[in-house]
Structure 1
């Protein structure tokens, strides 16, 4: 009698494996974006014109004596919650479209486009907000009447007006 060899079966790839890999890729890109966005959306600047002279009196930015301490302006750039909402919406809409996709190729395109959109959104938000923030002249804010337009919806700028700290 001859011994028969059992047929070696090669496991076929799991159906939808490429789709699951693209969904995982979208989630990884989104998590990285959510972690990177606040890291690069933090900036501060401030300006306190004048100071204290040798006799303990206050002076203005030009060095002239004044009766009270100058006002200090501090600005802080912060992340906008709307960017986080946009990332979540991109992911949810992409997954909803994948569930309605006619074929696997269109579903894969949708997920790839969503991952790219999340990355572009965060990059544009960071670049726009940082350039906008750096373009604001803090010295001009100490002239009395002023306003700061925030790079909404990409970032928020918090402006604080306080008396100069006395040494």
Structure 2
């Protein structure tokens, strides 16, 4: 499994951050390639199902995901349910006011992390209607590196909405993959 973790500090109350992250349909506002998120079933809790429509190059694909678990206000787990073995979570970890990473004014802060694990080899070539003369391997080779920039973009833009202002968001990025 390849792994990507993007984390940063958010100057907001952890419970507010957690509730914000439960609202999956808003994620389309933060991504360059995610066009729409439709709720198929549920209210954000366990077994909520979503259809995520991505568009890149000449391709459109709808991934189906399911919330596999929640631990308010700390964690939201999810899994892609067809065409690829992929899962992940959002983690929200409160920071104490005395921590070096806390807001200088002592207001509530937390670390937010988006963790993604996926197996590119499990991707189904039948999932896409490819243009003539375009191989599935070529598409994977071009698309997989975009995962990192998309994860970074989603986290940065979500932080700006949560904090209500623009600032340079320092991201910590961990990658365990030779593809991204």
Larger helix proportion, structure 1 or 2? 1
Larger strand proportion, structure 1 or 2? 2
**Shared fold (TM-score greater than 0.5)?**
no
Q: What is the TM-score normalised by the length of structure 1?
A: 0.29
